[in-house]
Amino acid sequence: MKSLEKLFEGALWNSRFVVVIAVIGSIAAGFTMFFMATVDTYYLILHMLNYASPEMAAEVRKALHDDTITHIVEVVDGYLLALVMMIFGLGMYELFISDIDEAQGSKTSSKILVINDLDDLKNRLAKVILMILIVLLFERAIKMPLTGALDLLYLGGAIALVGLALYLTHAAEGHGDKPSESSAQDRPH
């Protein structure tokens, strides 16, 4: 009975390797997004070479300017989504399979890709997703026609909510890092 239990527990423990499929898929999706954003950047630069043309009318230049800003925001969004996929894939590998020794010993990783637990992975993903949402709001704000005071009020409210989200994210990071004065006084000397 004991050997059957050991065999079953070994199979259960080794079943975690199915996560490798999700890791490979996430990393592949990240590479795909990096490629797509880079191709978009290449064509954006090619498109912008006409911007300095003296024959271009002012209205056409303004339209090209606005389109370019929108495309740049889309490229940033693509790169951020690629980062989400990379962080997710590497985090799942570290949580379920093994620590990435290269990341543990590297100064350049600066703890960005070192995932210690599920909450750590969620926090890192939440920060990048928040940045994606901010970029999407920026993209929508650029395209938003401000026809009245209510539109301006909505835009201001959205910006205030983004500021609040960033403040709360920053406050949550710093929470617990510094010991409180009362806990320092309560400690025996």
Q: Tell me the pLDDT tens digit for each residue of 42-69.
A: 998 888 887 777 887 888 888 888 888 8
C-alpha 64/C-alpha 2 separation (Å) is 73
Q: Find all residues with CB under 8 Å of 68, minimum gap 6, and list them.
A: 44, 47, 48, 51
C-alpha 162/C-alpha 134 separation (Å) is 7
Neighbours of 52 (CB within 10 A): 8
C-alpha 73/C-alpha 81 separation (Å) is 12
Q: Is the pTM of this model over 0.85?
A: no
Segment 154-178 shows an average pLDDT of: 78
Q: Between helices 58-96 and 118-143, what is the axis angle to 10°?
A: 170
Q: Over the stretch 108-125, which tens digit does the pLDDT of each residue have?
A: 665 666 677 788 778 778
- The yes-or-no verdict on residue 107 having pLDDT over 80 is no
